[in-house]
Structure 1
Amino acid sequence: MHETPVEDLRAALAAHAIPATTPIHHRQDSVVPSAGGGVPVRIYRPSDAPGLPVVQWMHSGGFAVGNLDQNEEYLRKLSIASQAVIVSVDYRLAPEHPCPAALDDCRAVWEWITSAPDELRSVDATRAVIAGESAGGALTFALAQQLREAGLPLPLAQISLYGTAVMEVTNPEHATALLSPEDCYWFWGMYVPDPADRTSPQASPGLAPDLGGLPPALVVTAEVDPTRDGTEEYARRLQETGVPVDLRRYEGMMHGFATMTTVLPAAKELFGQIVDYLAEVFTQQR
């Protein structure tokens, strides 16, 4: 990927988005007010039942590619299976908008969700979870920390699907066509141009000195991932601090597998485990 212009990667992703075929009760696009000029979101509602819980979803794409269409089919299915309202975030992308623009957008959406806006009428914003894949998983880690630091309402839990906790290649032996060490540094260079800034918790939440008081976490890693060990070390540090962590490594799977539910049995298995985890979290809060 690092040898392809980012504009071409964005076009290729858009062209190969999985078509949505699962009917959803209601889908709505909206724009969340923000200091950055507004954050587009897509809201999936499985029914009109009152008191539904909420999942804020952040997509993958190395902080530089991705959009609201990327996980359309996956999020429809997740909304229905979990009986949760899903708010998918179209955060600003690098290199046009480097760090912390994406994180700022995700925080703006979280504050909007917890403010009980008209678009989320009748939902139970006290039962809300943040979740993301890859770059979105890294944003999930960073957002949880930022909300704690700011004294804002915390999510009931955080779900990170191979989100990179530190901007460091810890497993160069696991390069694939989907993600190589060169790709990692290329993406990080767009999101955080100055390497010295990559040790900031905004960019590398796994380097934050204090992990106390963070929400429970489901941390999923893939065996074949150049950044795997750095993320698993963060999960262990969370556990040592007393944060409840469910750490699951998928052997034989590569970075990027989670949303490939139609072709990978492991992805389908993980989907069911995410639904079960959400059910447990939401039930405990009733």
Structure 2
Amino acid sequence: ADENTKIGVAGDSAGALIAASICHTIKNLDFQILVSGQFDFFHKFPSRQEFNKHIFVIPIDVLDWFTSNALRNEDDKNDSRVSILLNKSFNSLPTCLFIVAELDPLRDDSYNYQELLEKAGVKTKLVLIKGVIHPFFSNPGDEARTYATFILENFPAPKTFTLGGMRERSENVHEKVNEKFIGTFKGIEEERKIKIDENIEIPITVYTPADVTKDKMVIFFHGGGWTLASRKTHQTIVNMLADATKSVWISVEYRLAPEHKYPIWLDDGCEVTRQILANKTAYGADENTKIGVAGDSAGGLIAASVCHTIKKLDFQILVYGAFDFAGGTESYKEFTSPEHVLTPAVIGWFTSNALRDENDKKDPRASVLLYESFEGVPACLFIVAELDPLRDDSYAYQKKLEKAGIKTKLVLLKNVIHSFFSLPGIYEKNCAQTIEAVKEFMDSL
């Protein structure tokens, strides 16, 4: 800088409070940029209550946890250096840009602080990023920032939180994010149903690429915490995998929790797999076709568990799977910050939906890391996201399979968070790496 350089401060979330408070203490700053700031330690604003769900990453109990670490005692909350909305004077404060996430418990902090500054004659501007949750700003990588600021701003905030609304939004977001790939699959897409008992039929989609071979076939289970997502959310990536591998991929619409808790969603996966194996020629295979299972996240667990139940499978492809409901790994402890999107708090919410009780966590079918025998389990490809609380699940499960003499390969995707796999419209490079790894693995079998 030189004598004429304008100097400002900036910060996001807790850092925005620090930046704002500095402006009250140091009077010769020229500007401030406050992103998703927390400007008050009391929960009096409507947005704190409106987005008080773990799906929004920082509900009140998470905010309180951060507060208990940050402050010495309750008296600190009344200090205007900490709760800057308590300040009475705004003299000499510099111009301020507010960046606000629409689906953020802290949203109204910015609205109220802007109002105070405007009333004091301080120049301000507020930019509302629509359809995005609190930690969008620091999501690692250019793709995550694009995901937050460019795509999700197309979606208005839900008026009320409902599970149905979350599922619909998940499908709409995936459709928008991946829209540039619509129409690129030139093969055949066939909707079918598999009857698993007298009253239940499980929908499946059979994707047959234009240049299909009968060498391999894959049965795929989507992720979404056993609660969200669908065949539709994962259609683009499954289309791309079918094209790249020249194989039939079958996407399964297993029943979701909490309406259908464990073991229903797993039993659905097992029974669909069993029936496809028994009637494989009806799905485009022949007697020599090698058949495997694949899945991401929650679907990765289903795929892995199916391999312990059904011993006739030839391979498995597990994308950042959840293999132990106990948690407690180093990565589980490391990636607790909201910017990683999937946090222990979010995992806890999914778990409460997926399982009936604590005893289910101890069932090896649900926590496959608890298995002691790996007899008949097929070769496995692991795809792992580096910045993922579930990362070490894959490391631990690979180690067990290797010890049992099972062929494995693990591909680590650097500097990427958990949810990249179903979003090739944003994480194009990471998905291309994944597709190439899957193709190489399947070709090697």
CA distance in 2, matches of 1:137, 1:172: 21
Residues 52 and 118 (structure 1), Cα distance of their counterparts in 2 relative to 1, 3 Å cut: same
5 Å-filtered alignment, 1:94-105, equals: 94-105=257-268
The residue number in structure 2 matching 1:12 is 169
The residue number in structure 2 matching 1:173 is 334
Contact 2:205 2:252 in 1 (8 A): yes
Which 10-residue stretch deviates more, 3-12 or 99-108? 3-12
The residue number in structure 2 matching 1:263 is 426
- The structure number with the bigger radius of gyration is 2
Aligned: 1:111 with 2:274: yes
Shift of 1:103: 1.2
Q: What secondary structure is seen at the aligned counterpart in 2 of 1:258? A: helix
CA distance in 2, matches of 1:82, 1:232: 25
CA distance in 2, matches of 1:164, 1:123: 32
The residue number in structure 2 matching 1:133 is 296
Aligned CA RMSD, in angstroms, stands at: 2.0
CA distance in 1, matches of 2:209, 2:411: 28
- Picking from 350, 354, 361, the partner of 1:187 is 350
CA distance in 1, matches of 2:291, 2:285: 13
Q: What secondary structure is seen at the aligned counterpart in 1 of 2:385? A: strand
Shift of 1:124: 4.9
CA distance in 1, matches of 2:192, 2:354: 25
CA distance in 2, matches of 1:102, 1:82: 27
Residues 125 and 178 (structure 1), Cα distance of their counterparts in 2 relative to 1, 3 Å cut: farther
Q: Which runs of 5+ in 1 are unaligned?
A: 282-286
5 Å-filtered alignment, 1:73-112, equals: 73-112=236-275
CA distance in 1, matches of 2:271, 2:402: 28
The residue number in structure 2 matching 1:284 is none
State the Cα deviation string for residues 245-284 of structure 1 (Å, max 9, x = none). 1122222111112233343322221211111211222xxx
Q: Which runs of 5+ in 2 are unaligned?
A: 1-53, 57-160
The residue number in structure 1 matching 2:320 is 162
CA distance in 2, matches of 1:56, 1:135: 15
- Picking from 32, 49, 61, the partner of 2:224 is 61
Contact 1:168 1:227 in 2 (8 A): no
Residues 260 and 68 (structure 1), Cα distance of their counterparts in 2 relative to 1, 3 Å cut: closer
CA distance in 2, matches of 1:226, 1:125: 39
Alignment-mate amino acid for residue 271 of structure 1 = I
Larger RCO (alpha carbons 8 Å, 6+ apart)? 1
CA distance in 2, matches of 1:259, 1:123: 29
5 Å-filtered alignment, 1:139-158, equals: 139-148=302-311, 153=312, 155-158=313-316
Residue correspondences, number:
276
Shift of 1:205: 0.7
Shift of 1:50: 6.5
